[in-house]
Structure 1
Amino acid sequence: MTALLSLEGKKTDPAGWTPFIKQYIAESYAESPDQYSDECAILDQLRSQSVNIPSHPNVLARLQQYYAQLAQLMTKFPLDIGIQFSWYPIAGTGAPSVGHKNGYYEKACVLFSIASMFSELACSESKDSPEGARQSCLYFQNAAGCYQHLRDVVIHEIRVPPPADMSHKSLTLLSTLMLAQAQECSWRKALLENVRHGAIARLAIKLSEFYLTLADILTDDGIASLFPSSWALQVRTKAHYFEAIAHHRKGIECEQNGKFGEQITRLQLSDAALKLVQQDINGSQSFWGSTATISDALLRDVHDLQEMIAEQLASAIRDNDSIYMDIVPQASQVALIPGFEIVKPLVPIIVSEPFNELDLAGDDPKKLKPLFTKLVPFAVHQAISVYVDRKDLLLKMDILKKIKELDEECNSTLQDLGLPSSLEALVQPTGLPDSILLKAEEIQHEGGCQALYNMFDNVEMLSTKNAALIDEAVNELGKEHDEDERLRRRFRLEWIRPTSISLTAQLLEKGDQLSQTLENARNADKIVREKLKNWSKLIDLLSLPEKIIEQSIPSGTIDETQGGVGDDIIQRLQSLVDECYANIRDRQRIADEAQSMSEQDDISPLILKRASELSDRSSTVKIETSQFDPLFTTELGKYNELLKQVKKHSQEQWVLLNKIKDANNDFTTKRKGSGEISRREKALQNLEQAYLKFKEIRTNLVEGIKFHSQFSKALMKYRNICVDFVVARQLEAEELTR
């Protein structure tokens, strides 16, 4: 195997992303940069562990991961966030670095290093087995693809003149060189697998064409100066060497086919090509003073082939003159050997399509997890906010509110009709009905009245803290105002800064608005507390053991069981009431499913992907929220099935409630009540109502806790603004006093 050429990756100076990313986030996003500390550290670690490192498959994998992260990183940040990336040219040590404050420049240099590492790995593979030659060929094709992708795509992104070693001509040379060496590995594999001589000749002649193209490119002194001086001589030598091999192998095929005259011509052409090789070698010896510019392996291969050709040519001429007497054609008369190109540039998917290889949707554990996924450009932030608003509106108004209205209508209708209490009092004149038992178990499971009082204490605690935040902020402003007036009286006309009242008017007005909001919330809390006080006894009763609850309810007598109502009427009414409660449970399932779907509905990855498509990964393209409307429509379509179910419930409930009213009319018309049954019915209705009030109060308290918790964030922000203002005024006062 002749010597193969490779490049080391570009070297770079240390550079840390963290301070620059954090500063940019702090200045350009409404988010704290500290929450991205871990991701910044991962990015810095990825850079340090992938650049300036000797070639190895694991290092190559990290380098490709860093490249993919850079690709998606540039969709979130502009090309210049202040960090200087300095990379050294491949000319060798001593050459000054080339630096730019440009993330795309970093990306281009990283891709150059990826391509170079592929070339180093290809050279390190053993070529003594078909598998080794195949792997080496694959690496070289990857290197060629990366250099070509860098030339045709990535270089155009950096928007600054590329360094000389990444010029169009330089990258064309490198891509062609890697492709030639991939072809050479395929030729080697064909030798090891004893492929037909004609096929080997076609592979070799294409190799010669590759190296002739490279030799032509290296006649440009500007390009040749960028690479080792031996390259020009080596590719020219290989061009003639593989031409010789091609004619030699074609000559063997001619001998096998009885074309002894053409065999001689082919061997003569092979010998002539090797003489050109010798001329190049002799020329290099006179110019350089030694043959060090050509590898010893290549010299040995050339020498061995020369001896073989000389011996075979003499033998072929002797045999033809004495035995075959075949006409020996002129060199111009033999057919050209058609080249067979078996290789092509291969760009790794993670390089050509990094976004497809990143787990942007967060659902593929096999893919690379992108960094800064929650950090989105402002326009995307707006788009996400619009979608969340639309989703919440759909969820709250079209699903949850509608379900609540249907449930309230259902419970209200049953309550007005005295159901199911009147039915249960008649059908089950003694003991506790199952419906009451289930409601009692639910209240006991939720903690009864004590749980409600605990929740109310939590509401009051949060409310008190919120009031303290407002008081603290307003008091700080008041103290600052008093101090400013004191200093104004002391220094009189020398105290020239604006008055506090002129600067704090808006802050004080905001404080009044926040105080009014808190007061309204506290009034609502009082109503809930009064409601809890009024219903606590009955709720407490439902929290007691079954026997005690049963003893509190009057019992009828067995002979009053049906009170004159037929079994068919009772069964029909019971069935309709059961259906009503089943519908309530089904609507709860719909509400839970909608809530769960909404909580898991993160449209950020899809909007980021769409934003990337709209901008073509350019930070200069303006993105409008309206451009995401088709995506919003598609994603909100996930809720269509739930909306259909709610609509179906709405349509069917009207019919169901009318049936219940009609059946209840029949029931009450034919029922013969008694005092005991009426009192039992009333007691059961009170327990039903207590259960509904328990659920209502608990919902009110959950909403209250949620409100005060969220409101405290706004109050803390307001308090901090006031405190910062006061501190700034104090420092200003101290300076002005001095």
Structure 2
Amino acid sequence: GGIQTVDQLIKDLPELLQRNKEILDESLRLLDEEESTDNDLRTKFKERWQRTPSNELYKPLRTEGANYHNILNKAMQADGQVKERYQTHRDTIALLCKPEAELNAAIPSANPAKTLQGSEVVNVLRTLLANLDEVKKEREQLENDLKSVNFDMTSKFLTALAQDGAINEEAISVTELDRIYGSYTQKVQDSLKKQEELLKAIQNAHQDFSKMKQSNNESNLREEVLKNLAVANDNFVELVANLKEGTKFYNELTEILLKFQNKCSDIVFARKTERDELLKDLQQSIAREPSAPSIPLPTYQTTPAAGTKPAASPTPTPAPRTMVGTKPQPPARPPPPVISAASSSSSALAPSGTAAAPAAAPAPTPGASAPAAGAAPSQAQGPPYPTYPGYPGYCQMPMPMGYNPYMYGQYNLPYAPSPVYQNPGQPPYPPPQQPGYPFPQQPYYHQQ
């Protein structure tokens, strides 16, 4: 591919780097947005926002993201070094990638008239180099011979043990090694001596050859160009390897960052679902709370005034029907009265021999307060006694009314029956009927 391959690889690196940076930035942005939302809600609801803070939950992910960020920074530095080296040797690499004809034209050629091909120094140097090649071949053959030697000291040691009853290991080993490897030792020493002599001769011949080359400027320029081309070739191979490795690195890092992004997306989605459920619970809890605190009652409604009795209980307590020996007895009953037809028909509705019980007091309205302004209970009723007309000369006096706080300040309640004063010898008036009772109203005797 030549220079075009290197240019394309260098052009692809920034795109791969930018893609990885965008994936990493998007992953961290998801975490930042969710953490910001969590902090805002925690500030808003304070102690009601009972869940793990996002900044603590995301510590492993942020550490992993910081590691990826450092990797990308190091990759950017490596890319910069590769680009700098490429720019340094780009011209020579471009020359090296040209066709062979253009390459030969760009390289200075030595003048045949001035070449050293037929000089004595060159011939001597070539002969010495050929002798050096022969030494190398002898070395290889000697090495193979040494490796093929069968060296076994077991039989020697056993024979010595059987003859003498003891083993002189050092003496036997030295003798046997000299017998087997003595000839090879001599050959190695001769090869080393020959090598040293050849190296000295080659150095001297090369010095003479270098002096002759320095006198030819065109040859020096050619050598410089060839040296630069060799360096350019080495850099080209290394640059292509580095760029391919960088491309592979960025592609593998992209897969890793995509997994990291999926991990961040999953945990952010889970946190969002948890946040929505918690918000729903908080909204329901707030909706069930009272909108305002209960207003205390005024002092004049809760504290009884001076000279007044405290409010009675909303549930009336019926007065005792009979107090033996403690209260004065009521006056004797008058004789039975003459019951009218209307009274007889209404009285016939009740079963004979059974006294009808009065209706129960009305139940208090739910939510109503229990101060003295509550509904007035019905007065306790005794058994239905018949009303008798008074004797001549006797005037039925009204019974004293006790203090009943429920009888004041009420609306839509029946008034208490007024006491009836009868003249002597006059039949009594029928008592008024109370609503809801199927019996005629009987007089109430207040118990003292």
TM > 0.5: no
- What TM-score comes out, normalization by structure 2 length? 0.44
Larger Rg: 2
